[in-house]
Structure 1
Amino acid sequence: MTLTRRIFTLGALGLPGCTAIDALNQAALPLDTYALQPIGISTQGDRSSRTLLVLEPTASAAIATDRVLIRRDPLSVTYLPDARWADSLPQMLQSIFIQSLASAGRIGFVGAQGAGPVPDTVLLTRIDAFGVDQLDNGGFQTGITYELTVLRDRDQRVLGTRRFAQTGMIANDQATTIVRGFQTLLDGMLPEAMGWVLARAV
Protein backbone atom coordinates (compact mmCIF):
# COMPACT_ATOMS: atom_id res chain seq x y z
CA MET A 1 0.00 0.00 0.00
CA THR A 2 2.88 2.37 0.87
CA LEU A 3 4.59 1.67 -2.44
CA THR A 4 1.37 2.21 -4.38
CA ARG A 5 0.76 5.57 -2.72
CA ARG A 6 4.34 6.67 -3.32
CA ILE A 7 4.17 5.83 -7.03
CA PHE A 8 0.88 7.71 -7.37
CA THR A 9 2.33 10.79 -5.69
CA LEU A 10 5.46 10.80 -7.81
CA GLY A 11 3.38 10.38 -10.95
CA ALA A 12 1.16 13.28 -9.96
CA LEU A 13 4.19 15.51 -9.42
CA GLY A 14 5.21 14.85 -13.02
CA LEU A 15 1.89 15.90 -14.51
CA PRO A 16 2.22 19.10 -16.59
CA GLY A 17 0.47 22.08 -15.00
CA CYS A 18 -0.73 19.97 -12.08
CA THR A 19 0.67 19.65 -8.58
CA ALA A 20 0.32 16.54 -6.48
CA ILE A 21 -2.15 18.32 -4.22
CA ASP A 22 -4.29 19.35 -7.21
CA ALA A 23 -4.38 15.77 -8.50
CA LEU A 24 -5.32 14.36 -5.11
CA ASN A 25 -8.05 16.96 -4.65
CA GLN A 26 -9.53 16.16 -8.06
CA ALA A 27 -9.53 12.43 -7.32
CA ALA A 28 -11.30 13.04 -4.01
CA LEU A 29 -14.14 15.14 -5.44
CA PRO A 30 -17.52 13.42 -4.93
CA LEU A 31 -19.62 12.78 -8.01
CA ASP A 32 -23.39 13.00 -8.22
CA THR A 33 -24.73 9.44 -8.49
CA TYR A 34 -27.67 8.36 -10.65
CA ALA A 35 -29.62 5.14 -11.10
CA LEU A 36 -32.00 4.26 -13.93
CA GLN A 37 -35.22 2.53 -12.98
CA PRO A 38 -36.95 -0.69 -14.12
CA ILE A 39 -40.51 -0.69 -15.41
CA GLY A 40 -43.54 -2.70 -14.47
CA ILE A 41 -44.68 -5.06 -17.22
CA SER A 42 -48.31 -6.06 -17.57
CA THR A 43 -48.69 -9.35 -19.43
CA GLN A 44 -51.47 -11.85 -19.80
CA GLY A 45 -50.97 -15.55 -19.13
CA ASP A 46 -50.49 -18.01 -16.30
CA ARG A 47 -47.44 -18.02 -14.06
CA SER A 48 -44.85 -20.59 -15.06
CA SER A 49 -42.57 -22.55 -12.75
CA ARG A 50 -39.67 -22.06 -15.16
CA THR A 51 -36.50 -20.22 -14.13
CA LEU A 52 -34.54 -17.56 -16.00
CA LEU A 53 -30.92 -16.57 -15.37
CA VAL A 54 -29.99 -13.03 -16.44
CA LEU A 55 -26.23 -12.82 -16.97
CA GLU A 56 -24.34 -9.55 -16.56
CA PRO A 57 -24.26 -7.85 -19.99
CA THR A 58 -21.03 -7.59 -21.93
CA ALA A 59 -19.79 -4.29 -23.34
CA SER A 60 -16.68 -2.53 -24.59
CA ALA A 61 -14.35 -1.02 -22.01
CA ALA A 62 -15.63 2.49 -22.82
CA ILE A 63 -19.18 1.44 -21.85
CA ALA A 64 -18.48 -1.06 -19.05
CA THR A 65 -17.89 1.61 -16.42
CA ASP A 66 -19.83 3.64 -13.87
CA ARG A 67 -19.17 6.88 -15.78
CA VAL A 68 -21.66 8.58 -18.11
CA LEU A 69 -20.26 8.47 -21.64
CA ILE A 70 -20.48 11.51 -23.91
CA ARG A 71 -18.88 11.90 -27.35
CA ARG A 72 -18.02 15.44 -28.40
CA ASP A 73 -16.93 14.11 -31.79
CA PRO A 74 -16.98 10.65 -33.44
CA LEU A 75 -13.35 9.90 -32.55
CA SER A 76 -13.36 10.90 -28.87
CA VAL A 77 -14.74 9.18 -25.80
CA THR A 78 -15.18 11.34 -22.73
CA TYR A 79 -17.31 11.22 -19.58
CA LEU A 80 -19.38 13.72 -17.65
CA PRO A 81 -16.98 15.19 -15.10
CA ASP A 82 -19.47 15.47 -12.25
CA ALA A 83 -21.71 12.38 -12.59
CA ARG A 84 -21.58 8.61 -12.31
CA TRP A 85 -23.94 5.63 -12.32
CA ALA A 86 -24.75 3.89 -9.03
CA ASP A 87 -23.15 0.69 -10.44
CA SER A 88 -21.20 -0.11 -13.54
CA LEU A 89 -23.51 0.21 -16.53
CA PRO A 90 -23.66 -3.58 -17.21
CA GLN A 91 -24.56 -4.28 -13.57
CA MET A 92 -27.21 -1.56 -13.57
CA LEU A 93 -28.80 -2.83 -16.79
CA GLN A 94 -28.74 -6.41 -15.48
CA SER A 95 -30.64 -5.29 -12.38
CA ILE A 96 -33.15 -3.35 -14.50
CA PHE A 97 -33.81 -6.42 -16.67
CA ILE A 98 -34.26 -8.71 -13.65
CA GLN A 99 -36.69 -6.38 -11.89
CA SER A 100 -38.65 -5.64 -15.06
CA LEU A 101 -38.99 -9.33 -15.99
CA ALA A 102 -39.95 -10.29 -12.44
CA SER A 103 -42.65 -7.61 -12.39
CA ALA A 104 -44.55 -9.48 -15.12
CA GLY A 105 -45.23 -12.36 -12.72
CA ARG A 106 -44.91 -14.92 -15.52
CA ILE A 107 -41.75 -16.76 -14.45
CA GLY A 108 -41.21 -18.75 -11.25
CA PHE A 109 -37.74 -17.32 -10.67
CA VAL A 110 -35.71 -14.57 -12.35
CA GLY A 111 -32.26 -13.84 -11.00
CA ALA A 112 -28.57 -13.24 -11.52
CA GLN A 113 -25.77 -15.77 -11.70
CA GLY A 114 -24.82 -17.35 -8.40
CA ALA A 115 -28.34 -17.18 -6.98
CA GLY A 116 -31.39 -19.41 -7.18
CA PRO A 117 -32.05 -22.78 -8.82
CA VAL A 118 -30.59 -24.25 -11.99
CA PRO A 119 -32.07 -22.15 -14.81
CA ASP A 120 -34.26 -23.38 -17.63
CA THR A 121 -33.26 -20.45 -19.83
CA VAL A 122 -30.48 -17.86 -19.84
CA LEU A 123 -30.58 -14.26 -21.06
CA LEU A 124 -27.39 -12.93 -22.65
CA THR A 125 -27.02 -9.22 -23.41
CA ARG A 126 -24.42 -7.33 -25.43
CA ILE A 127 -24.49 -3.55 -25.00
CA ASP A 128 -23.34 -1.91 -28.23
CA ALA A 129 -24.17 1.71 -27.39
CA PHE A 130 -25.16 3.61 -24.27
CA GLY A 131 -24.12 7.23 -24.37
CA VAL A 132 -24.63 10.78 -25.53
CA ASP A 133 -23.48 12.20 -28.87
CA GLN A 134 -22.97 15.90 -29.49
CA LEU A 135 -24.24 16.55 -33.02
CA ASP A 136 -22.77 18.85 -35.64
CA ASN A 137 -25.51 21.40 -35.02
CA GLY A 138 -24.62 21.58 -31.32
CA GLY A 139 -27.55 19.47 -30.17
CA PHE A 140 -27.32 16.36 -28.00
CA GLN A 141 -28.69 12.88 -28.64
CA THR A 142 -28.94 9.93 -26.26
CA GLY A 143 -28.64 6.46 -27.74
CA ILE A 144 -29.06 2.90 -26.46
CA THR A 145 -28.39 -0.26 -28.46
CA TYR A 146 -28.28 -3.78 -27.08
CA GLU A 147 -28.65 -7.30 -28.45
CA LEU A 148 -30.55 -9.96 -26.47
CA THR A 149 -30.10 -13.71 -26.82
CA VAL A 150 -32.18 -16.33 -25.01
CA LEU A 151 -30.58 -19.77 -24.55
CA ARG A 152 -32.05 -23.04 -23.32
CA ASP A 153 -29.67 -24.00 -20.54
CA ARG A 154 -29.64 -27.80 -20.83
CA ASP A 155 -28.33 -27.92 -24.40
CA GLN A 156 -27.32 -24.27 -25.04
CA ARG A 157 -29.75 -24.04 -27.93
CA VAL A 158 -30.41 -20.46 -29.04
CA LEU A 159 -34.12 -19.76 -28.74
CA GLY A 160 -33.86 -16.30 -30.27
CA THR A 161 -31.64 -13.28 -30.83
CA ARG A 162 -32.83 -9.74 -31.38
CA ARG A 163 -31.31 -6.27 -31.48
CA PHE A 164 -33.01 -3.27 -29.87
CA ALA A 165 -31.98 0.33 -30.56
CA GLN A 166 -33.41 3.75 -29.88
CA THR A 167 -32.22 7.38 -29.86
CA GLY A 168 -33.71 10.59 -28.56
CA MET A 169 -32.88 14.29 -28.55
CA ILE A 170 -32.23 16.09 -25.26
CA ALA A 171 -32.06 19.81 -24.48
CA ASN A 172 -28.52 20.01 -23.11
CA ASP A 173 -25.60 18.06 -21.67
CA GLN A 174 -26.47 18.55 -18.00
CA ALA A 175 -26.36 15.33 -15.98
CA THR A 176 -30.01 15.41 -14.89
CA THR A 177 -31.16 16.06 -18.46
CA ILE A 178 -29.06 13.18 -19.77
CA VAL A 179 -30.29 10.74 -17.12
CA ARG A 180 -33.92 11.65 -17.82
CA GLY A 181 -33.20 11.13 -21.52
CA PHE A 182 -31.86 7.63 -20.90
CA GLN A 183 -34.83 6.79 -18.67
CA THR A 184 -37.22 7.91 -21.42
CA LEU A 185 -35.46 5.63 -23.91
CA LEU A 186 -35.60 2.66 -21.55
CA ASP A 187 -39.26 3.29 -20.76
CA GLY A 188 -39.94 3.00 -24.48
CA MET A 189 -37.66 0.02 -25.13
CA LEU A 190 -38.18 -2.27 -22.15
CA PRO A 191 -41.84 -3.31 -22.68
CA GLU A 192 -41.10 -4.72 -26.14
CA ALA A 193 -37.69 -6.14 -25.22
CA MET A 194 -38.81 -7.82 -22.00
CA GLY A 195 -41.99 -9.07 -23.66
CA TRP A 196 -39.83 -10.66 -26.36
CA VAL A 197 -37.71 -12.39 -23.68
CA LEU A 198 -40.76 -13.66 -21.81
CA ALA A 199 -42.23 -15.16 -24.98
CA ARG A 200 -39.14 -17.38 -25.26
CA ALA A 201 -38.45 -18.04 -21.60
CA VAL A 202 -41.91 -19.03 -20.32
Structure 2
Amino acid sequence: MPMHRPIHLGLIALLCTFFVSGCSAISALDGAGRSLAVVDLRAPDNFAADQSTRTRDLIVELPGTGGALDTDRIMIRPTPLAAQYLPGVRWSDTTPVMLQTLMLRSLENTQGLRYIGRRPISSEGDVALISELTNFEAEQTGQDTARITLRLIARLVREDDAEILATRIFTAGADTPSTETDALLQGFDRAANILLNDLTRWTMGTLGIGLRITETAQVSQESR
Protein backbone atom coordinates (compact mmCIF):
# COMPACT_ATOMS: atom_id res chain seq x y z
CA MET A 1 0.00 0.00 0.00
CA PRO A 2 1.33 3.52 -0.76
CA MET A 3 2.23 5.56 2.29
CA HIS A 4 0.64 8.98 2.76
CA ARG A 5 2.25 11.90 4.53
CA PRO A 6 0.42 14.95 5.92
CA ILE A 7 0.47 17.92 3.55
CA HIS A 8 0.33 21.62 4.31
CA LEU A 9 -2.98 23.35 3.69
CA GLY A 10 -1.23 25.66 1.26
CA LEU A 11 -0.96 22.78 -1.19
CA ILE A 12 -4.66 21.96 -1.12
CA ALA A 13 -5.56 24.42 -3.87
CA LEU A 14 -3.20 22.58 -6.23
CA LEU A 15 -4.52 19.19 -5.17
CA CYS A 16 -8.11 20.30 -5.78
CA THR A 17 -7.29 20.64 -9.47
CA PHE A 18 -6.66 16.93 -9.64
CA PHE A 19 -9.23 15.65 -7.15
CA VAL A 20 -12.37 17.71 -7.72
CA SER A 21 -11.62 19.52 -11.01
CA GLY A 22 -12.99 22.82 -9.72
CA CYS A 23 -16.43 21.45 -8.86
CA SER A 24 -18.10 21.97 -5.50
CA ALA A 25 -16.58 19.51 -3.04
CA ILE A 26 -20.01 18.82 -1.53
CA SER A 27 -21.45 17.65 -4.82
CA ALA A 28 -19.88 14.20 -5.06
CA LEU A 29 -18.44 11.26 -3.17
CA ASP A 30 -15.26 9.30 -3.88
CA GLY A 31 -15.35 6.16 -5.89
CA ALA A 32 -14.22 2.91 -4.29
CA GLY A 33 -10.48 2.52 -4.05
CA ARG A 34 -9.62 6.10 -4.95
CA SER A 35 -6.37 7.40 -3.49
CA LEU A 36 -6.87 10.14 -0.87
CA ALA A 37 -4.56 13.02 -0.01
CA VAL A 38 -3.75 13.30 3.70
CA VAL A 39 -4.31 16.60 5.52
CA ASP A 40 -3.61 17.79 9.06
CA LEU A 41 -4.78 20.66 11.23
CA ARG A 42 -2.42 22.90 13.20
CA ALA A 43 -2.07 23.03 16.99
CA PRO A 44 -1.93 26.64 18.24
CA ASP A 45 1.07 27.89 20.21
CA ASN A 46 -0.36 31.23 21.34
CA PHE A 47 0.32 30.84 25.07
CA ALA A 48 3.23 30.34 27.44
CA ALA A 49 2.98 29.44 31.12
CA ASP A 50 4.98 30.45 34.16
CA GLN A 51 7.75 27.83 34.34
CA SER A 52 7.72 27.87 38.15
CA THR A 53 4.25 26.26 38.16
CA ARG A 54 5.24 23.04 36.35
CA THR A 55 3.99 20.68 39.06
CA ARG A 56 0.89 19.17 37.45
CA ASP A 57 0.47 16.04 35.35
CA LEU A 58 -2.34 15.86 32.77
CA ILE A 59 -3.67 12.88 30.86
CA VAL A 60 -5.60 13.67 27.68
CA GLU A 61 -7.89 10.74 27.00
CA LEU A 62 -9.23 9.83 23.58
CA PRO A 63 -12.44 11.81 22.92
CA GLY A 64 -15.56 9.71 22.66
CA THR A 65 -17.78 10.21 19.63
CA GLY A 66 -20.50 8.71 17.46
CA GLY A 67 -19.78 6.30 14.64
CA ALA A 68 -20.13 8.86 11.85
CA LEU A 69 -17.18 10.86 13.22
CA ASP A 70 -15.05 7.87 14.22
CA THR A 71 -13.31 7.84 10.86
CA ASP A 72 -10.48 9.59 9.03
CA ARG A 73 -12.95 10.91 6.44
CA ILE A 74 -13.98 14.59 6.59
CA MET A 75 -17.70 14.96 7.25
CA ILE A 76 -19.84 17.31 5.18
CA ARG A 77 -23.59 17.89 5.28
CA PRO A 78 -25.37 18.98 2.06
CA THR A 79 -28.47 19.28 4.28
CA PRO A 80 -28.84 19.18 8.09
CA LEU A 81 -30.03 15.55 7.99
CA ALA A 82 -27.65 14.16 5.38
CA ALA A 83 -24.02 13.17 6.01
CA GLN A 84 -21.37 12.59 3.36
CA TYR A 85 -17.58 12.70 3.27
CA LEU A 86 -15.33 15.15 1.45
CA PRO A 87 -13.96 13.54 -1.72
CA GLY A 88 -10.28 13.26 -2.48
CA VAL A 89 -8.89 13.95 1.01
CA ARG A 90 -8.84 12.49 4.50
CA TRP A 91 -7.53 13.46 7.93
CA SER A 92 -4.13 12.14 9.00
CA ASP A 93 -5.89 9.91 11.55
CA THR A 94 -9.43 9.25 12.72
CA THR A 95 -11.12 12.44 13.89
CA PRO A 96 -11.00 11.56 17.64
CA VAL A 97 -7.30 10.56 17.49
CA MET A 98 -6.42 13.66 15.47
CA LEU A 99 -8.26 15.89 17.96
CA GLN A 100 -6.56 14.15 20.91
CA THR A 101 -3.17 14.84 19.28
CA LEU A 102 -4.09 18.49 18.68
CA MET A 103 -5.19 18.91 22.32
CA LEU A 104 -1.94 17.35 23.52
CA ARG A 105 0.18 19.60 21.32
CA SER A 106 -1.75 22.75 22.23
CA LEU A 107 -1.42 22.12 25.96
CA GLU A 108 2.18 20.95 25.69
CA ASN A 109 3.08 24.10 23.73
CA THR A 110 2.38 26.19 26.85
CA GLN A 111 5.25 24.39 28.62
CA GLY A 112 3.29 24.75 31.84
CA LEU A 113 2.84 21.07 32.73
CA ARG A 114 5.30 18.69 34.34
CA TYR A 115 3.95 15.85 32.21
CA ILE A 116 1.24 15.52 29.59
CA GLY A 117 0.39 12.37 27.66
CA ARG A 118 -2.23 9.92 26.49
CA ARG A 119 -1.63 7.70 29.53
CA PRO A 120 0.02 8.19 32.94
CA ILE A 121 3.68 7.33 33.40
CA SER A 122 2.85 5.67 36.75
CA SER A 123 -0.14 3.69 37.98
CA GLU A 124 -2.15 6.90 38.34
CA GLY A 125 -2.01 10.36 36.84
CA ASP A 126 -2.88 13.67 38.42
CA VAL A 127 -5.80 15.03 36.36
CA ALA A 128 -7.46 13.59 33.26
CA LEU A 129 -9.09 15.55 30.44
CA ILE A 130 -12.10 13.49 29.34
CA SER A 131 -14.18 14.68 26.41
CA GLU A 132 -17.02 13.85 24.03
CA LEU A 133 -16.90 15.09 20.44
CA THR A 134 -20.40 15.77 19.09
CA ASN A 135 -19.74 17.91 16.00
CA PHE A 136 -16.80 18.16 13.61
CA GLU A 137 -18.31 18.89 10.24
CA ALA A 138 -19.05 21.31 7.40
CA GLU A 139 -22.67 22.10 6.53
CA GLN A 140 -23.69 23.74 3.30
CA THR A 141 -25.49 27.02 4.06
CA GLY A 142 -26.02 28.30 0.52
CA GLN A 143 -25.36 27.33 -3.05
CA ASP A 144 -21.64 28.03 -2.66
CA THR A 145 -21.13 28.66 1.08
CA ALA A 146 -20.70 26.47 4.14
CA ARG A 147 -20.40 26.64 7.92
CA ILE A 148 -17.82 24.64 9.88
CA THR A 149 -19.10 23.52 13.30
CA LEU A 150 -17.02 21.96 16.09
CA ARG A 151 -18.49 21.02 19.48
CA LEU A 152 -16.72 19.30 22.37
CA ILE A 153 -17.92 18.47 25.89
CA ALA A 154 -14.88 18.47 28.20
CA ARG A 155 -14.39 17.42 31.83
CA LEU A 156 -11.34 17.65 34.05
CA VAL A 157 -11.35 14.72 36.47
CA ARG A 158 -9.03 14.13 39.41
CA GLU A 159 -7.59 10.67 38.97
CA ASP A 160 -7.20 9.51 42.58
CA ASP A 161 -10.88 9.90 43.56
CA ALA A 162 -12.62 10.50 40.18
CA GLU A 163 -13.94 13.89 41.32
CA ILE A 164 -15.04 16.13 38.45
CA LEU A 165 -13.18 19.41 38.87
CA ALA A 166 -14.84 21.28 36.01
CA THR A 167 -17.07 20.74 32.98
CA ARG A 168 -17.50 22.93 29.93
CA ILE A 169 -18.96 22.73 26.44
CA PHE A 170 -16.77 24.22 23.73
CA THR A 171 -18.19 25.31 20.40
CA ALA A 172 -16.40 26.93 17.50
CA GLY A 173 -17.36 27.75 13.95
CA ALA A 174 -16.14 29.34 10.76
CA ASP A 175 -17.98 30.43 7.63
CA THR A 176 -16.43 29.62 4.27
CA PRO A 177 -16.99 31.68 1.10
CA SER A 178 -16.87 28.55 -1.03
CA THR A 179 -17.55 24.82 -0.88
CA GLU A 180 -14.28 24.03 -2.63
CA THR A 181 -12.00 21.65 -0.78
CA ASP A 182 -9.32 24.16 0.13
CA ALA A 183 -11.88 26.67 1.47
CA LEU A 184 -13.50 24.01 3.65
CA LEU A 185 -10.16 22.85 5.03
CA GLN A 186 -9.11 26.41 5.80
CA GLY A 187 -12.43 26.77 7.65
CA PHE A 188 -11.77 23.63 9.67
CA ASP A 189 -8.32 25.01 10.54
CA ARG A 190 -9.75 28.33 11.76
CA ALA A 191 -12.50 26.69 13.81
CA ALA A 192 -10.11 24.17 15.37
CA ASN A 193 -7.75 27.00 16.33
CA ILE A 194 -10.58 28.80 18.15
CA LEU A 195 -11.69 25.66 19.99
CA LEU A 196 -8.16 24.62 20.99
CA ASN A 197 -7.26 28.08 22.25
CA ASP A 198 -10.41 28.17 24.40
CA LEU A 199 -9.76 24.64 25.67
CA THR A 200 -6.14 25.47 26.52
CA ARG A 201 -7.07 28.61 28.50
CA TRP A 202 -9.81 26.77 30.38
CA THR A 203 -7.72 23.69 31.18
CA MET A 204 -4.68 25.59 32.42
CA GLY A 205 -6.82 28.07 34.35
CA THR A 206 -8.69 25.24 36.08
CA LEU A 207 -5.35 23.72 37.06
CA GLY A 208 -4.27 27.07 38.51
CA ILE A 209 -1.62 27.71 35.86
CA GLY A 210 -1.38 31.24 34.53
CA LEU A 211 -0.82 31.89 30.85
CA ARG A 212 0.49 34.82 28.83
CA ILE A 213 0.23 35.46 25.09
CA THR A 214 3.47 34.66 23.34
CA GLU A 215 5.41 37.35 21.49
CA THR A 216 4.79 35.51 18.21
CA ALA A 217 1.02 35.65 18.77
CA GLN A 218 1.19 39.34 19.70
CA VAL A 219 3.08 40.18 16.51
CA SER A 220 0.57 38.15 14.48
CA GLN A 221 -2.39 40.01 16.01
CA GLU A 222 -0.78 43.44 15.54
CA SER A 223 -0.08 42.73 11.87
CA ARG A 224 -3.74 42.05 11.03
TM norm structure 2: 0.74
Q: Secondary structure at the match of 1:67?
A: coil
In the alignment, what sits opposite 2:111?
A: 105
Q: CA deviation at 1:26?
A: 4.0
Contact 1:50/1:108, CA 8 A, preserved across alignment:
yes
Gaps of 5+ in 1: 1-24
In the alignment, what sits opposite 2:40?
A: 35
Deviations 1:131-187 (CA, angstroms, capped at 9, x unpaired): 000125552111111111000000000000001112221022222221111111122
Instruction: Please report the RMSD computed on the Cα atoms of aligned residues, expressed in angstroms.
Output: 1.8
Contact 2:49/2:111, CA 8 A, preserved across alignment:
no
AA aligned to 1:169 is: D
Alignment partners' CA distance in 1, 2:87 and 2:46 = 34
Q: CA deviation at 1:40?
A: 0.9
Q: CA deviation at 1:50?
A: 1.8
Alignment partners' CA distance in 2, 1:26 and 1:184 = 29
Gaps of 5+ in 2: 1-29, 209-224
Alignment partners' CA distance in 2, 1:195 and 1:166 = 15
In the alignment, what sits opposite 1:140?
A: 146
Alignment partners' CA distance in 2, 1:174 and 1:149 = 35
Q: CA deviation at 1:107?
A: 0.7
Contact 1:73/1:134, CA 8 A, preserved across alignment:
yes
**Aligned counterparts, 1:1-202, within 5 A:** 26-45=31-50, 46-113=52-119, 116-117=121-122, 118-136=124-142, 138-201=144-207
In the alignment, what sits opposite 1:9?
A: none
AA aligned to 2:89 is: A
Contact 1:71/1:133, CA 8 A, preserved across alignment:
yes
Alignment partners' CA distance in 2, 1:28 and 1:192 = 38
Structure with greater Cα Rg:
1
**Count of aligned positions:** 177
Contact 2:70/2:94, CA 8 A, preserved across alignment:
yes
Change (3 A) 1:44 1:33: closer
Q: CA deviation at 1:109?
A: 0.4
Alignment partners' CA distance in 1, 2:145 and 2:179 = 9
Alignment partners' CA distance in 1, 2:190 and 2:140 = 18
Greater RCO structure (CA 8 Å; 6+ sep): 2
Q: Percent identity?
A: 24
AA aligned to 1:127 is: L
